[in-house]
Structure 1
Amino acid sequence: MTEERPLVIAADETVLDEILRVAAVAGCELVRAPDLTAASRHWARAPLVVLDEEAVRHPPALPRRGGILLVCKGSPGPATWEHAFRGGVERVISLPDDETALAGAFADIVETPAKQPGLVLGVVGGRGGAGASVFAATLALTADRDPGGALLVDCDPLSGGLDVLLGLEKTAGKRWPDVQLGGRASVTSLAESLPQRSHRRGSLPVLASGPEGQGPDVESLSAILTSGRRAGRTVVCDLPRSLGEASEEVLLRADLVLLMVPLEIRACLAAKKVLSRLSRLTARIGLVACGHSKDPAARTAALLGPPLMASMPPERNLWGALERAEFPTKPRGPLATTAADILKIARREAQAATR
């Protein structure tokens, strides 16, 4: 965030309360002034100026500048537009209809867009117990070592909880029931409020499902995906096989959806059913085969359709480590190696798509 904070001049308490609420959701701190005269020392330096109708009716002799927003209750009338024109207002925002635009303006101050947009990755199991949650967590931990960082999001309300998987169940921080976002949000502010899994190069924020099975609401999840991509983060979503509205939001936005397929005949048949549902929403699907490539089921997996992104051999002592609440962090193990390879492919394809 810039050193200077947005300047707010609002005499209408109702409008002021709404401005403060939207700014708080965006994680944006403000400078408040009772009128334009008192605001003169902040006027030129503030990255954004937000006025209400009372303030814009009596403009003092301040230099003209850009980045002025006028916030009003309901639809603006002719007099409002006239005052806005004379006061050099850049945009008129009507509440509550244009709340997203106001949130976006504050979010732009908190987080300037990254030079390289982030990725949205989905991971779903071809059958129960396919290791999708473990791989999603590994993928996020690997991505979090990069400058943009990562965010791990639990999209399965009936899972055991990604916080439990990573040993964070007793760590303070928000879970899905505590997160209510709309429009634009600050992924940095959100990340700071979440439990975080420490690793060699930092700590990974984890947004887990609630203990009573509360999962993501679509509006909040959409805001997180948008903000994460804009900020250059890799957002990894652990998806349920029974796709709901929130999961569909991820599928529509994801740069890549990984289907984890254990190399067993029944697992391949189950994965085919999951794939049929995924394919209705996205074509950006890749398979990760889990097991020994010489298994007879490997040939069946290859016939499922989507490209085989990786063939991942079993991680030694994995399930024992998970039972001991020791999430695997072997830097050269099959999980970490496969995750790193897939991230390289996903980033290369995303960059090629923006050229």
Structure 2
Amino acid sequence: MHRPLFVTDDHELLDDVLNLAAVLPLDLDVESGPESARSRYTSAPIVLIGEGSATACARARLPHRSDVFLLSHGPGHHGSGHHGMDRLTMLADAIGADHIVQIPDGAGWLLDRFARLTGPVAEHRGRILAVLGGRGGAGASVLAAGLAVTAGNVGLRSLLVDADPLGGGVDLVLGWEDLAGLRWPGLAEATGVVDPPAMVDALPSRGDVAVLSCDREAPGAGLPSDAMAAALDAGSRGRDLVVADLPRRLDDAAVLALRAADRVLLIVPAELRACVAAARVAATVTPHTDALHLVVRGPAPGRLRTRQISRSLGLPVAGTLRAETDLPRRLERGAPPAGTGRGPLAALCRRILGDLGLATGVAA
């Protein structure tokens, strides 16, 4: 069995990670630089790269792969803080890291990843979709909620993750604002290994749909990237589909979700100004994902065609959303998007899920 690979020249960080792995126990291969690590880089189940070795690894042009994690000392250690996180994000981009793990705050999450390597059978992983708007009011939250609800309607277990602290709470879109359950502040304060069934059970839910929403009592509070990593990991392990509703202005948590997503949907109204705004959003998103697809929302007052918008933005089309005049009224009454399974939104959501292989055999 191949062992996890840790590339680091930081003895303090090495001791922390080895002590963590010894809890299971789990053996690691350790190398001080990229050249000595190259022969095992692609075969290791996961690769950990210490902050101090990241620049050398980026220059060495190691093969692109998934399950690469950038490790660093957490807040309180010399060099941490806001500017430290900016630097970590740049380093993560340079080495193609999926996650940034700060020790000791992220020790529980890392231990959870280690624990999965010791199991005898590979576990089921749900798909991850990310949705964001090409401009304000494009309908990203409605589409994200519609995807989660549609998945539940066809017998899939879904989790809707609200990653926009300024969005007002995606539970409002579902009409679930009065449901009790765990929201972001509670998850962000949790420590230790996240148990997927326990986390999902603690969330507001109805049927096969659960939601992790922002808290309106703490407007604008940023989402910790470690908490986002835990939510996506636990959600994909405990659900068939995770849908993340992302902000247009990317923070560290949103970037992490983009990197984890199997597909990213950019919803753009068929209007000239919306297309111009969407081009700027797409430019900030594409460095973090190669899975960006376009959803065009009607009506088109200037008769812009989907093909024109796709060509202008340079994005493949995941689908079009025809105008649904009754949808705003239903949402105001607390009905969840696509809840009836009928109408243009429900049809689009079924198509998107089908393209991901999640709704095969379900009649449209």
In the superposition, the TM-score normalised over structure 1's length comes to 0.64
Are the aligned partners of 2:144 and 2:243 in contact in 1 as well (CA < 8 Å)? yes
Q: Per the alignment, do residues 154 and 347 of structure 1 end up closer, same or farther by CA in structure 2, a change over 3 Å counting?
A: same
User: Does the 8 Å contact 1:167/1:326 carry over to 2?
Assistant: yes
Give the superposition deviation at 1:109. 10
Q: For residues 167-202 of structure 1, give each alpha carbon's deviation from its aligned partner in whole angstroms, at most 9, with x where no partner exists.
A: 222221111111135675222211111111x3xxx2
Quote how far apart the aligned CAs of 1:238 are. Answer: 0.3
- 1:161 paired to 2:169: yes
Q: Deviation of residue 297 (structure 1)? A: 2.0
Deviations along 1:199-234, one digit per CA (max 9) or x if unpaired, are: xxx241111001122342110111222233334531
- 2:275 is matched with 268
Aligned to 1:325: 334
Q: Where does the alignment leave 5 or more consecutive residues of structure 2 unmatched? A: 1-19, 27-102, 359-364
Structure 1 partner of 2:212: 207
Residues of 2 paired with 1:194 and 1:263: CA distance? Answer: 35
Alignment of 1:235-254 (within 5 A): 235-254=242-261
Deviation at 1:69, TM superposition (A): 4.9
Within-5 A mapping of 1:56-67: none
Query: For 1:83-126, what per-residue CA distance to the aligned partner results, in whole angstroms no more than 9, with x for missing partners?
Result: xxxxxxxxxxxx9696556445777999x8544x2111100011
Of the three residues 194, 206, 213, the one matched with 1:185 is: 194
Question: Separation in 2 of the partners of 1:113 and 1:144?
Answer: 25
Partner of 1:132: 140
Cα 1:183–1:269, aligned 2, differ >3 Å: closer, same or farther?
A: farther
Range 172-181 or range 244-253, more displaced: 172-181
Using the TM superposition, give the Cα deviation of residue 163 of structure 1 relative to its aligned residue in structure 2, in angstroms: 1.3
Post-superposition offset of 1:287: 0.5
Answer yes or no: is the 8 Å Cα contact 1:104–1:185 preserved in 2: no
Name the counterpart of 2:362.
none
Aligned to 1:308: 317
Q: Classify 1:147/1:311 alpha carbon distance in 2 versus 1 (closer, same or farther; 3 Å).
A: closer
* Preserved CA contact (<8 Å) 1:107 1:185: no
Aligned to 2:233: 226
2: CA distance, partners of 1:186 / 1:245: 23
> 1:73-152 counterparts in 2 under 5 A?
99-100=108-109, 102-104=111-113, 114-115=123-124, 117-145=125-153, 149-152=157-160
Is residue 165–residue 222 contact of structure 2 (8 Å, CA) maintained in 1? Answer: yes
Deviates more, 1:96-105 or 1:257-266: 96-105
Q: Provide Cα deviations, 1:234-273, integer angstroms capped at 9, x if missing partner.
A: 1100001111111000111111000001111111111111
Distance 2:340 2:107 in 1: 48
Q: What secondary structure, in the 3-state scheme, does the structure 2 residue paired with 1:289 have?
A: strand
CA distance in 2, matches of 1:262, 1:99: 42
For the 8 Å contact 1:123–1:136, the answer to whether it is kept is yes
User: Cα gap change, 1:104/1:333 in structure 2, threshold over 3 Å: closer, same or farther?
Assistant: same
Q: Output aligned runs, 1:3-42, within 5 Å.
A: none
Task: Choose which of 337, 346, 351 in structure 2 pairs with 1:341.
Answer: 351
Distance in structure 2 (CA, Å) of the matches to 1:105 and 1:263? 46
Give the distance between the partners of 2:349 and 2:187, measured in 1 at CA: 28
The answer to whether the 8 A contact 1:310-1:338 is kept is yes
What letter corresponds to residue 121 of structure 1 in structure 2?
A: L
- Is the contact between residue 196 and residue 237 of structure 2 (CA under 8 Å) also seen in structure 1? no
Aligned residue type for 1:341: R
For the residue of structure 1 that corresponds to 2:131, the secondary structure is strand
Q: What is the aligned length? A: 256
Seq. identity, %: 37
TM-score by length of 2: 0.63
2: CA distance, partners of 1:311 / 1:98: 43
In the alignment, the residues of structure 2 paired with residue 271 and residue 154 of structure 1 have an alpha-carbon distance, to the nearest angstrom, of 20
State the one-letter code of the partner of 2:201.
Answer: E
Matched letter for residue 255 of structure 2: E
Q: CA 1:100–1:252 in 2, change beyond 3 Å: closer, same or farther?
A: closer
Distance 1:99 1:294 in 2: 52
Q: 1:320 to 1:279 in 2, by over 3 A?
A: same
Name the CA shift for 1:232/1:191 in 2 (closer, same or farther; >3 Å): closer
Distance in 2 (CA, whole Å) between partners of 1:251 and 1:123 is 9
Inter-partner Cα distance in structure 2 for 1:248 and 1:219: 12
The answer to whether the Cα contact below 8 Å between 2:109 and 2:230 also exists between their aligned partners in 1 is: no
Q: Distance in 2 between matches of 1:109 and 1:142?
A: 35
In 2 relative to 1, CA 146–242 (structure 1 residues): closer, same or farther, beyond 3 Å? same
Distance 1:147 1:187 in 2: 19
